[in-house]
Amino acid sequence: MRTASHLLLNTPEIEIWPGGLLRARSNHDARALSRARHVLRRKRDGQYLAADLPEGLLALVPRLRREDGIEAALVLLDHLAEPHRSGIDAIGELPLDRLQDRLHALGLDDGYGERSGLPLVAEPAALTLAGFDRYRRPLWLLSPAARAWRSLHAAALHDGVVLEAISGYRSHDYQLGIFERKLARGQTVQDILTVNAAPGYSEHHSGRALDIGTPDEPPAEESFERTPAFAWLRDNAAAYGFVMSYPRDNPHGIVYEPWHWAWHRA
């Protein structure tokens, strides 16, 4: 049984985070987050929506009740408050709704998956805290992938190799945001698709994949392959269920990514 204090619970529009993990820019929000048992967070932009305090729910945005998906999130929050539901056992996947809208927003048609050879990837209904990444952000993975990452990290450290997580789980909405930010900087959709899969098709959605780096090495650069960390992963990662997803000349049209590894053990 996993306790809710170590889980991110997912709904299509809103995530429910355990308290104590999020940081805010304003003093008002920071005080609320520091006391919160759980925090409701909007997926599309990371906005904090409400803090679940011991004395009740504190809205952090105006018109909280008008937020998309808020009712489903509040039902799940109430579920967590039931004494006999302090642990969460049921794990599933979120529906692949709004996928066409995301693709069409980027000018992509429904044949993208067939052309790229990439499968659709649903978001898990719950993810486990697997530690923190290079930037001290919480790292979320599926529970067995989180255990495998911790074992991999410890084994590397035992051999004198430091591995750093750069990023783990990403929602469909977050992936769309990556495209929107790069488009705003002048990149084309086709250029972005050589580095990032379209929303709904990234392995990061699954909670099985993470980008890995090592200290003093820039993140997500091909130069990672020349580090002792990459050499160690190449020789040892498979023993822990991790596979490099995008080798050179992969059939998906994605550039060589020696930093991107996914857990595939059943």
Across the range 104-126, mean pLDDT stands at: 94
176 and 251 inside one domain: yes
Q: Is residue 180 part of a domain?
A: yes
Q: Do β-strands 260-263 and 209-213 pair in parallel, antiparallel, or remain unpaired?
A: antiparallel
User: Is 12 within 8 Å of 97 (Cβ atoms)?
Assistant: yes
Q: How far apart are CA 203 and CA 122, in angstroms?
A: 9
Q: Is residue 103 part of a domain?
A: no
More confident residue, 78 or 237: 237
- The tens digit of pLDDT for each residue in 17-58 reads 999 887 776 777 888 888 999 999 999 888 999 999 999 999
Helix (H) or strand (E) holding 152: helix 143-158
User: Is 38 within 8 Å of 52 (Cβ atoms)?
Assistant: yes
Task: Return the residue matching tokens 């056992």.
Answer: 89
Residue 86 has pLDDT above 70, yes or no: no
pLDDT, position 156: 98
User: Is 243 within 8 Å of 264 (Cβ atoms)?
Assistant: yes
State how many domains the chain has: 2
Residue 87 has pLDDT above 90, yes or no: no
User: Is 106 within 8 Å of 191 (Cβ atoms)?
Assistant: no
Residue 184 has pLDDT above 70, yes or no: yes
Instruction: Give the CATH number, domain containing residue 194.
Output: 3.30.1380.10
137 and 234 inside one domain: yes
16 and 83 inside one domain: yes
Helix, strand or coil, per DSSP, at residue 62: coil
Its domain, for residue 49, covers: 2-88
Q: Compute, in degrees rounded to 10, the torsion defined by CA atoms 104, 202, 77, 100.
A: 20
Helix, strand or coil, per DSSP, at residue 79: helix
46 and 133 inside one domain: no
| Average per-residue pLDDT for the chain | 91
- The tens digit of pLDDT for each residue in 58-75 reads 999 999 999 999 999 999
More confident residue, 208 or 89: 208
Q: Is residue 111 part of a domain?
A: no
Q: Is residue 101 part of a domain?
A: no
Q: Is residue 108 part of a domain?
A: no
pLDDT, position 3: 46
162 and 41 inside one domain: no
| Neighbouring C-beta atoms of residue 25, cutoff 10 Å | 6
Q: How far apart are CA 23 and CA 28, in angstroms?
A: 11
Of the residues 88, 121, 141, the one at which a domain ends = 88
pLDDT, position 91: 60
Helix, strand or coil, per DSSP, at residue 211: strand
Q: How far apart are CA 214 and CA 227, in angstroms?
A: 8
Across the range 121-130, mean pLDDT stands at: 96
The answer to whether the pTM exceeds 0.85 is yes
Which whole-number Å values give the CA distances from 204 to 5, 81, 240, 253, 257, in the listed order? 22, 30, 18, 17, 14
Q: Do β-strands 38-42 and 14-18 pair in parallel, antiparallel, or remain unpaired?
A: antiparallel
Bridge partner residues of 9 (DSSP): 16, 126
